[in-house]
Chain A
Amino acid sequence: MHKNISRHDGCTVTGALTVTTFLRDSATIVHGPKGCCHQAVSVLHSSMLYNECFDIPDIFSSAMDEKNIIFGGEDSLNDAIKEALDEDFRCIFIIGTCISDTIGDDIESVCAGFNEKDSVPVIPINASGFLGGSFEDGFISALKGASEIIGENCNFSDKYSDECQIKPLVNIIGEKNLEYEVDANFSEIKRLLNLLGADVNLRFIRNITFDDIQNFNCASLNIIREDTTGDIKRHFEKLTNIPCISSYPYGISNTLEFLKEAGEYLNINPDLAIKHEINYQKEMFESFSDLRGEKISFDSFGFQKADSNLFTEIARHTGIVLDSDGVTIPIPFFTPVGTGGVFHMLSQWRRFING
């Protein structure tokens, strides 16, 4: 098993923080008790450190106490926002918790009060802690909240920059910032886009600035890391009119289909790129020729829903035989992205087979 403590559990607060804290010149205020903020930030920070991300995000707490719970916490939130505004942030996100939601604090109106008079946007994220749902719900809400920065009058065709005219650009949306392979996966997508003659415009949101988001509309395609509910795709299509591919490509044939689909959206003939990728995949499988004839079986540990077709396809291409008595191969927590992801996974299989 690779080292990976990416978090997929927890409440909306942690999920939302994994988005908002990666906008470098922004601050996030967790509107709830100090302990609630501490808990969420601890999970976030320890996961970030493990994944070699050493930045300390700018996170404030409105530090609700019993007095706030009895009389309402809107004044404390107001004070926390003022404190954050004293520093040089370009944008402030507000994430509510179970506590503020239970007593009915109106976070949106507090934010609206600031947005009337301040030039720095104060953006409420629909969170509400465990009451608001899961880590993933918080993550999606934060992506939607942050998309307010893009602005309402989005029409990419009118806003092409010089760079857009040279080659088509693509936005990457909703990278899993606590995923150990986040940058490797990004590089793989960038490689595939480059094969088509396109490039990445913006990583929404991973280590970008507020001003970077202003270029969102330079892209002619959005690619979402993963969109299990379809919610992210619907939101961004409605907001920007930019077409969306709702998932990174997984495995062998799906990577080729991805090139075809992206090519169609970008008005690029994908034939050359697909031909190149097929050769690349052949070379990759050739480099695992020592595994031909080996016997393996898959173990999903009983809790992961494995797409067995995808793994079976990879085994067949490599010449590996599926046999219940074969070496047990754990299904990876994250499905391999692109041909590069398959290469890394096969390296792990080799380790298990030869181990």
Chain B
Amino acid sequence: MKQIALYGKGGIGKSTTSANLSAALSEKSLDILQIGCDPKHDSTRMLMHGQWIPTVLDLVREKGEGNITTEDVVFSGYNNIRCVEAGGPEPGVGCAGRGIIATFQLLEKLDALYGDVIVYDVLGDVVCGGFAMPMREGYAREVYLVTSGDFMALYAANNICKAIARLSKRSKPCCTLGGVICNSQNIEGELGLVSEFAEKINSELTGFIPRSQIVRVSEVNKKTVLEYAPESEQADVYRKLAEKIMNTNPDPDKKPTPLSMDELETLAQKYIKA
């Protein structure tokens, strides 16, 4: 079983990338489970044809943990991809990070964490212990940083990189950096910038997803690109990404090297010109 997590800045396109990646993986007749770990709970919406599925934490709040079944929280989406949304508390209340931990523990108790590939879609603006949980407890074995050439997106990616570097110091590290995925924002010099960023953090560019109108059109039609426009070039981009990830076996001894703020700024200045 391959367990991958996509981390990145809010709004960078993690959910779109995750859903299309899951869809592409499912074409290989693989059993896929996608878990959205964002209180926004929109990770699996395209796989569910626009349906907002109930979140694990909403159900825990309403029914209590003891009364929840697998059928309550795991929903079958496009190509039988199993979809779960962790959810979260109301804004400004409680601890969403702890909620992520509780969700995983409940799914484990329900024997729902199985399949050929589990895709964790995790928000990366906040990397408290709770949100780093998928890495720390071995749920996510390979982390992919989703970024663009936008400075703040790189900043968030670098922060996740710090979390992985920190976890790699443990006596039994179980999480490695799989690579960097560039979800393009059509920024000049973006490919060069993100490629060099990947290299500098001792990783590699796993995939470059060009900005395409077809992604927006598919979303409006409540489908992934793989489902809405399977013959499109963009669909092939996701297929190639899926292929690359399936063939990636990150070396556990290869530790990420996050950049200092100065290094990150210097790198950005090199590519982003007025």
- A residues contacting B by CB (< 8 A) are 66-74, 102-104
Judge whether B95 and A103 touch: CB under 8 Å.
yes
Hey, which chain B residues are within 8 Å of A70, CB to CB? 57, 60, 89, 94-96, 98-99, 102
B61 CB-CB contact with A under 8 Å: yes
Judge whether B57 and A72 touch: CB under 8 Å.
no
Hey, which chain A residues are within 8 Å of B94, CB to CB? 68-73, 103-104
Judge whether A69 and B98 touch: CB under 8 Å.
yes
In the assembled complex, how far is the CB of residue A273 from the closest CB belonging to chain B, in whole angstroms? 59
* Alpha-carbon separation in the docked complex, A103 to B99 (Å): 12
Judge whether B89 and A72 touch: CB under 8 Å.
yes
Hey, which chain A residues are within 8 Å of B102, CB to CB? 66, 70
Q: Give 18 pairs: A residue, B residue, CB < 8 Å, sorted on A.
A: A66-B98, A67-B60, A67-B65, A68-B94, A70-B57, A70-B89, A70-B94, A70-B96, A70-B98, A70-B99, A71-B61, A71-B90, A71-B93, A71-B94, A72-B90, A72-B94, A102-B95, A104-B92
Query: Considering only CB atoms and an 8 Å cut-off, how many residues of chain B contact the other chain?
Result: 14
In the assembled complex, how far is the CB of residue A276 from the closest CB belonging to chain B, in whole angstroms? 63
* Alpha-carbon separation in the docked complex, A69 to B89 (Å): 10
Hey, which chain B residues are within 8 Å of A71, CB to CB? 57, 61, 89-90, 93-94, 99
In the assembled complex, how far is the CB of residue A72 from the closest CB belonging to chain B, in whole angstroms? 4
Hey, which chain A residues are within 8 Å of B95, CB to CB? 69-70, 102-103
Residue of B nearest to A103 (CB): B95
- The residue among A67, A70, A71 with the most chain B CB atoms within 10 A of its own CB is A70
Type the 1/0 row for B48-75, where 1 means its CB is closer than 8 Å to any CB of A.
Answer: 0000000001001100010000000000
* Alpha-carbon separation in the docked complex, A68 to B93 (Å): 10
8 smallest A-B Cβ distances: which pairs? A72-B93, A72-B94, A70-B99, A71-B89, A71-B94, A103-B95, A70-B94, A70-B98
Hey, which chain A residues are within 8 Å of B90, CB to CB? 71-72
In the assembled complex, how far is the CB of residue B254 from the closest CB belonging to chain A, in whole angstroms? 35
Give residues 77-98 of B contacting A (CB, 8 Å): 89-90, 92-96, 98
In the assembled complex, how far is the CB of residue B194 from the closest CB belonging to chain A, in whole angstroms? 35
Judge whether A74 and B98 touch: CB under 8 Å.
no
- The residue among A71, A74, A102 with the most chain B CB atoms within 10 A of its own CB is A71
In the assembled complex, how far is the CB of residue A201 from the closest CB belonging to chain B, in whole angstroms? 44
* Alpha-carbon separation in the docked complex, A266 to B37 (Å): 67
Judge whether A74 and B93 touch: CB under 8 Å.
yes
* Alpha-carbon separation in the docked complex, A102 to B98 (Å): 12
Type the 1/0 row for B205-245, where 1 means its CB is closer than 8 Å to any CB of A.
Answer: 00000000000000000000000000000000000000000
In the assembled complex, how far is the CB of residue B268 from the closest CB belonging to chain A, in whole angstroms? 34
Judge whether A104 and B61 touch: CB under 8 Å.
no
Residue of A nearest to B60 (CB): A67
- The residue among B60, B93, B96 with the most chain A CB atoms within 10 A of its own CB is B93
* Alpha-carbon separation in the docked complex, A67 to B57 (Å): 9
Residue of A nearest to B64 (CB): A67
- Given the interface pairs A72-B94, A102-B95, A103-B94, the reply to whether A67 lies near B61 with Cβ below 8 Å is yes
In the assembled complex, how far is the CB of residue B153 from the closest CB belonging to chain A, in whole angstroms? 28
Give residues 154-196 of B contacting A (CB, 8 Å): none
In the assembled complex, how far is the CB of residue A212 from the closest CB belonging to chain B, in whole angstroms? 39
Residue of B nearest to A67 (CB): B60
* Alpha-carbon separation in the docked complex, A67 to B67 (Å): 14
Hey, which chain B residues are within 8 Å of A67, CB to CB? 60-61, 65
* Alpha-carbon separation in the docked complex, A66 to B95 (Å): 10
- Given the interface pairs A66-B98, A70-B102, the reply to whether A104 lies near B93 with Cβ below 8 Å is yes
* Alpha-carbon separation in the docked complex, A289 to B92 (Å): 70
* Alpha-carbon separation in the docked complex, A10 to B102 (Å): 30
Hey, which chain B residues are within 8 Å of A68, CB to CB? 94
* Alpha-carbon separation in the docked complex, A72 to B92 (Å): 9
* Alpha-carbon separation in the docked complex, A74 to B89 (Å): 13
* Alpha-carbon separation in the docked complex, A68 to B65 (Å): 13
Hey, which chain A residues are within 8 Å of B57, CB to CB? 70-71
In the assembled complex, how far is the CB of residue B64 from the closest CB belonging to chain A, in whole angstroms? 8
Residue of B nearest to A70 (CB): B99
* Alpha-carbon separation in the docked complex, A74 to B92 (Å): 12
Hey, which chain B residues are within 8 Å of A69, CB to CB? 94-95, 98
